[in-house]
Amino acid sequence: MTKNNALNAWIEEIGNHTNPDNIIIWSGSQNEYDLLAEEMVKTKKAIRLNPKKRPRSLLFRSDPSDVARVEKRTFISTTHQESAGPTNNWIAKEQLMPIMWELFKSSMTGRTMYVIPFSMGPIGEEMSRFGVEITDSPYVVLNMHIMTRTGNKVLELIEKGSDFVKCLHSVGYPLMPGDEDPNWPCAPIEQKYITQFPEERMIWSYGSGYGGNALLGKKCFALRIASAIAKDEGWLAEHMLILKLTNPEKEVKYITGAFPSACGKTNLAMINPSLEGWKAETLGDDIAWIKVKEDGKMYAINPEAGFFGVTSGTSYKTNPIAMESIKHDTIFTNVALTDDGDVWWEGKDEAPEHLIDWHGNDWYKGNHMRPDHPNARFTSPLTNCPSLAKEYETPVPISAMLFGGRRPSTIPLIHQSYNFQHGIFFGSIMGSEITAAAIDENIGKVRRDPFAMLPFIGYNIYDYINHWLEVSKQTQEEKLPKIFFVNWFRKENNKFLWPGFGENSRVLKWIFERTNDVQNFIKTPIGLIPNLTKFDLSNLDISKNKLSTLFEVDKNDWAVEIEEIRKYYYNLFGENTPIILKEQLSSLIQRFGN
């Protein structure tokens, strides 16, 4: 066992209750990873990909009932419901704990219980935090090894007294003598529970083996629990990319960005700028922990050690950096398998004539059913990324924060807030228009996703908004990042007006200049937008009419938007809308002269 009595007592308690066949404390060595990976291949739980095509890489196929995060089965459990607020599924602790304890009883029978000490953030960095995940899923162990810093170095610090978050996970599929273990064990949907206990700094997840439900360092710890820790300690845990941008004069700026799903966050984190002389480097594509340091500036660090990205639509055209990052040492989940032992997914390139689909069945070109799952994933180390910034394990000073969404109208390509408090308003109203891609009676309406954190805030959103304000008061306005709202997705005649991808570097250039207070803007009621005579359009084939629409701030459109925001705030907060949001909405109305 370990040299930490509290950890030993917890391991013993969980071991006695879940009844595993044996217990392994994960050392975090590459040899240990390789041996477990080989065991998964031998037992046919994983497929070893062609080493000439995809060296040291694996393919897993999940159960069709276990393919994504299950928000309806994700809970915040606190003493009082008010602590969880209106955006979370809440169950009282005294009600939930007996249910969970009964589910976990003998849940690891016939399995190995792995104890994984892990660090969110570089080991020993002041902004990092530790956790220990107990799990009976080898898939989780392999993925946690990539996504976090695991093993003996973390355990040594825990043994010296460092705090850690207790993370308990089981696939919920005990094995009795004679039982056959399926390739992807999991529990029925109604028995799945992904539960955060912010008051105890504890996570219990039962029944799912997939992604953010089971890799407890990810959304569960790095956002839901970390956001609660951050509230108590005066920092921010955010659903944000971190990007390093260098101009032709070798001046460097660091930018964070929050975007709802399907809004190009990973593509921006790995952007390949089209503008000559500009360089972009990746620090993180998903999560940023942000703290005001002694110099009064906000610093951000990526607490993760890997990428857990969606494969769908990823190609050398859309994201060449991601494609290079997954060429080796990568775990794929629910993609298709090619005849030569490589992987394929929709949007990668031309489909081959034959594939083995994510269910393990033959698939032939022309079949209307896609051979990969829309939420198929890759897990690869940060160090695979060719554009990884050398500072990826160092807190970096943030010059700009971006918020965005998928809006075909109303919102211009880019605008800047008048100040940080106005920027908090930006974060609160971001969202995407519902399309026919989802079965939803609200097609055409905006689904708000404040700060891209709607499923991830570990406490009451009212307090979350006010916490942003309190953190900003730790320093002077001039030292805070400038805040921007981007919208790559404005349309006309159902066609995108902006080319996106590498051309987004033109927007980043304008943002870069604004952080240096270059006078390259014009004022509008919603904020500052580019003065097009000072916006880099060199070698870009785009009409004046398209540009005019891209940057249009239409009073009638915004009258509708303002009313929608007002209704949204009321539906979310009732009579208790945070004062900062009331004031900002009132100021916006006044600037339009309504």
What are the DSSP calls for 373-411, one per residue?
-TT-EEEEEGGG-TTB-TTTTS-EEEEEEEEE---SSSS
Task: Tell whether the model's pLDDT for residue 341 goes beyond 80.
Answer: yes
Tell which of 329, 353, 384 closes a domain: 384
* Residues 222-251: tens digit of each pLDDT: 999 999 999 999 999 999 999 999 999 999
Task: Tell whether the model's pLDDT for residue 136 goes beyond 60.
Answer: yes
pLDDT at 594: 59
Burial class (CB in 10 A: 0-12, 13-18, 19+), 414: buried
Cα–Cα dist 130/103, whole Å: 26
Q: Are strands 202-206 and 165-170 parallel, antiparallel or unpaired?
A: parallel
- Residue among 26, 10, 19 nearest 166 (CA): 10
Helices vs strands, H then E, count in the chain: 16, 32
pLDDT at 399: 98
Indicate if 263 belongs to the active site: yes
Does one domain contain both 42 and 81? yes
Residue 52: inside a domain, yes or no?
Answer: no
Q: Any idea what the CATH number is for the domain that residue 575 is in?
A: 3.90.228.20
Rounded mean pLDDT, 444-460:
93
Cα–Cα dist 323/470, whole Å: 40
- Residue among 485, 497, 573 nearest 530 (CA): 485
- Predicted confidence band of residue 433 (pLDDT cuts 50, 70, 90): confident
Q: Locate tokens 């897993």: which residue?
A: 60
**Which residues make beta-bridge pairs with 488?**
none
Task: Tell whether the model's pLDDT for residue 194 goes beyond 60.
Answer: yes
Q: Any idea what the CATH number is for the domain that residue 37 is in?
A: 3.40.449.10
- Residue among 254, 284, 258, 259 nearest 269 (CA): 284
Contact 40, 32 (CB under 8 A): no
pLDDT at 510: 98
* Residues 274-316: tens digit of each pLDDT: 999 999 999 999 999 999 999 999 999 999 999 999 999 999 9
Handedness of CA 309, 314, 318, 323 (dihedral sign): positive
Does one domain contain both 461 and 348? no
What is the full DSSP assignment across 451-519? Answer: GG-TTT-SS-HHHHHHHHHHHHTTS-GGGSPEEEEE-TT-EETTEESS--GGGGHHHHHHHHHHHTT--
Cα–Cα dist 360/254, whole Å: 43
- Six-digit token pair at 344? 């394929």
Residue 58: inside a domain, yes or no?
Answer: no
pLDDT at 404: 95
Does one domain contain both 267 and 371? no
- Six-digit token pair at 71? 């928000």
Rounded mean pLDDT, 257-281:
94
* Residues 499-557: tens digit of each pLDDT: 999 999 999 999 999 999 999 999 999 999 999 999 999 999 999 999 999 999 999 99
Does one domain contain both 314 and 221? no
Task: Tell whether the model's pLDDT for residue 445 goes beyond 90.
Answer: no
pLDDT at 263: 86
Does one domain contain both 193 and 270? no
pLDDT at 458: 98
Tell which of 233, 250, 269 closes a domain: 233
The domain tally of the chain equals: 3
Cα–Cα dist 286/303, whole Å: 10
Tell which of 384, 405, 430 closes a domain: 384
Q: Are strands 193-197 and 74-76 parallel, antiparallel or unpaired?
A: parallel
Domain coverage including residue 365: 306-384
| Catalytic pick among 167, 186, 220, 263 | 263
Q: Quick one: residue 333, left, alpha or beta (phi over 0 = left, psi -120 to 50 = alpha)?
A: beta
- Predicted confidence band of residue 261 (pLDDT cuts 50, 70, 90): confident
Residue 60: inside a domain, yes or no?
Answer: no
**Ranges 195-209, 436-450, 529-543: which has the least confidence:** 436-450
Does one domain contain both 181 and 85? yes
**Which residues make beta-bridge pairs with 112?**
22
Residue 149: inside a domain, yes or no?
Answer: yes
- Predicted confidence band of residue 443 (pLDDT cuts 50, 70, 90): low
**Which residues make beta-bridge pairs with 377?**
310, 333
Does one domain contain both 102 and 208? yes
- Predicted confidence band of residue 438 (pLDDT cuts 50, 70, 90): very low
Percent of the chain with pLDDT over 90: 96
Does one domain contain both 397 and 445? yes
Cα–Cα dist 241/402, whole Å: 9
Contact 164, 134 (CB under 8 A): no
Contact 466, 427 (CB under 8 A): no
Task: Tell whether the model's pLDDT for residue 16 goes beyond 70.
Answer: yes
pLDDT at 436: 43
Residue 374: inside a domain, yes or no?
Answer: yes
Does one domain contain both 497 and 533? yes
Rounded mean pLDDT, 356-376:
97
Write down the H helix ranges in 55-148.
Answer: 81-84, 93-104, 138-147
Rounded mean pLDDT, 560-574:
97
Q: What average pLDDT does the chain have? A: 96
- Six-digit token pair at 196? 């955060």
Q: Any idea what the CATH number is for the domain that residue 348 is in?
A: 2.170.8.10
pLDDT at 442: 65
Does one domain contain both 413 and 358? no
Does one domain contain both 368 and 450? no
Task: Tell whether the model's pLDDT for residue 439 goes beyond 50.
Answer: no
How far is the first Cα of the chain from the last one, in angstroms, to the nearest whole number?
Answer: 68
- Residue among 593, 568, 592 nearest 581 (CA): 568
pTM above 0.85, yes or no: yes
Rounded mean pLDDT, 552-566:
97
Residue 93: inside a domain, yes or no?
Answer: yes
Does one domain contain both 99 and 37? yes
Residue 315: inside a domain, yes or no?
Answer: yes
- Predicted confidence band of residue 435 (pLDDT cuts 50, 70, 90): low
Residue 418: inside a domain, yes or no?
Answer: yes
